[in-house]
Homo-oligomer: A and B are copies of this chain.
Amino acid sequence: MSGAQIGELRRVVAANVRRLRKAKGLSQEAFADDCGLHRTYIGAIERAERNVSIDNIERLAGALAVPGYELLKP
């Protein structure tokens, strides 16, 4: 079992989404519009509060113009 450390990967995603969104000069609201997601959901992702699904990783990565796996890279 690998249960002990679960939650680390969503912190990686949180940090990457925030970093890449800011690098594009986008507010959470503008970025949420680009993703087709809600602003409060983006905020929760960036605080590592949400267990994001792979389909939404794809939406976030698409709006950031990076491959999906880049959002999971430490």
SS of A interface (majority): helix
Contact B68 A72 (CB under 8 A): yes
Contact B6 A58 (CB under 8 A): yes
Q: How many copies make up the complex?
A: 2
Contact A68 B9 (CB under 8 A): yes
Within 8 A of B (CB), among A38-59: 51-55, 57-59
Seen from chain A, the residues whose Cβ lies within 8 Å of a Cβ on chain B are 1-3, 5-10, 12-13, 34-36, 51-55, 57-59, 61-63, 67-70, 72-74
Closest 8 CB pairs of A and B: A2-B62, A69-B72, A9-B58, A69-B69, A51-B53, A9-B68, A69-B73, A51-B55
